[in-house]
Structure 1
């Protein structure tokens, strides 16, 4: 078949263009072009699992590719953060956390990743309320009474945590700094052993994420004397916040956000950020969050980046004052 000269050139040009497009690296084509791995730097279970899986399910619907959760615990989150920081496939993300982004940089002498340079903030997904708890036998019905008790006998009261540098450790040290009290820290290897001793009365107090303790509060086995949220939470409407009880501006919540390696192209990051901000507000995600007392946020990359910066400054001061070191 004879092809006119002009049409032959057009055909050759189209063929060359198609070949060039096929040879382009993955990140230059439409993103995502394959399943996306969302790494969670903690063991399965708990709030991180709820937030990650609820978000991944909604992202799968909006991005047109499967988004699956991959738990990779170890080293206070440092193992997973280091791996994802160096990922080059453009389809690996990570669930950022108060610990890996705002605490670890100030308690470890050397980190295997740089929170600012190695990652691109995508969206702040959710906050989980930190609750301040006491054993029911302790003569403190609310935070004011607890603070008065601690001031009356400095060092007599104790509190437990899931370990040095854990969210519960930070939460209580922050309260001690705000209230100018001295309460002895008793670190445990995880939330489970800590709660066992608090319920048994071998500890006086603790700060724990809401999802782990709501059942014990409702059963009367623990008393919640304050929430760390700016407003009261629906699950405990009669419990006032720390701020309401004499400490204006106080906020203590665990938080989770979506991060990508710094090399993710801008167009892909923009699409992902918009999808993530919508994902946490979808009815199915909200239902899962509410069951865990998690508060959906959804933010822009700029808002999340600024939030991380503020959190780093806040916890840097608390860590320095309490001289917190990793286990």
Structure 2
């Protein structure tokens, strides 16, 4: 697979410069030294109980203690996270409203022709909360026990294997497309409306394999209904260190993950952005948060706003290239 699909570091220097410029741009605001003096609203653009909601809430609860004011979750689901994101993009940039979103935030611009906001330009990155490995899973009865087994079987049956996903242009779908290109194999994509129905069909043998997020797949792996083969991140997953990476299974450089982060509306004063970032970073060091994340299969990050700005732009380019080459579109 072309290296440009796996690592996208080109332009990191210019992205860093842009990130620093955005964070340093003076904006006319009232004195921020007393911030926050009232509760802070965290908009989560998905329903309660999902991975974005869970990863955001556990940190927000601890951030309240650091900030001295509660961080109040507000779920506004719909349109692949764009309804909630739009509300934050249009919110007053005073630090009292911010967004908790997943990597889909930077994927959406590549798969939707029209959006009501710019996913990068209309937001100021605060911090990346976590990285979540995708795990390659097959039914317990499958003859596939390794990445090598999968590739050999796919080569013997061109187009005969199928992989499920949470939907067209989802991270699961794009990870499967990326692996197809890396391995030089052909598989059929079967989109579902969410991970849950896809995993149920996988466990029942209706589909052959799936690249799914660790939190979603873990219960069926633990119950013995699914077999975990490998993880998609550059390094082994902390939650399942016994699983090899796809990179070490013969495909160096393969690195795909979902991730979660916080964003503020464009124009939010740097002092407030930094205060929110520091509070999130402190919360991510809390043993309760670390334990909750590891149980979900998530790995804490806690980057600076500048680091997250560069990472988000690089990810947007990487996923955008995969979308372009796969032709993936939203339903």
Normalising by structure 1, we get a TM-score of 0.89
Decide which moves more: 76-85 or 217-226.
217-226
For 2:29 and 2:311, how far apart are their aligned partners in 1?
33
SS of the aligned residue for 1:318 comes to: helix
The answer to whether residue 98 in structure 2 is matched with residue 93 in structure 1 is: yes
Match of 1:259 among 247, 259, 263: 263
Match of 1:120 among 121, 124, 127: 124
1:151 match: 155
Cα 1:57–1:26 change in 2 (3 A) is farther
For 1:79 and 1:205, how far apart are their aligned partners in 2?
31
Match of 1:208 among 192, 206, 212: 212
> Whose RCO is larger (CA < 8 A, sep 6+)?
2
Aligned pairs (5 A) from 1:148-297: 148-297=152-301
1:20 match: none
Give how far 1:40 is off. 0.9
Contact 1:39 1:92 in 2 (8 A): yes
Match of 2:81 among 51, 69, 77: 77
Give how far 1:110 is off. 1.3
Contact 2:128 2:308 in 1 (8 A): yes
SS of the aligned residue for 1:96 comes to: strand
Give how far 1:27 is off. 6.0
Give how far 1:25 is off. 6.3
Match of 2:314 among 290, 304, 310: 310
Aligned pairs (5 A) from 1:37-76: 37-76=41-80
Give how far 1:89 is off. 5.9
Decide which moves more: 210-219 or 92-101.
210-219
Contact 1:27 1:265 in 2 (8 A): no
For 1:302 and 1:236, how far apart are their aligned partners in 2?
30
User: Which digits, 9 at most, give the CA deviation of each residue in 1:229-277, with x for residues without a partner?
Assistant: 2222243232211111011121111100110001211111111112212
**Gap runs ≥5 in structure 1:** 1-23
Contact 1:47 1:128 in 2 (8 A): no
Contact 2:130 2:298 in 1 (8 A): yes
SS of the aligned residue for 2:218 comes to: helix
Structure index of larger Rg = 1
SS of the aligned residue for 1:122 comes to: strand
CA RMSD of aligned residues (A): 1.5
Displaced runs of 4 or more, over 4 A: 24-29
For 1:120 and 1:215, how far apart are their aligned partners in 2?
35
Cα 1:238–1:29 change in 2 (3 A) is closer
What is the count of residue pairs matched by the alignment?
A: 303
2:108 match: 104
Decide which moves more: 313-322 or 212-221.
212-221
SS of the aligned residue for 2:119 comes to: coil
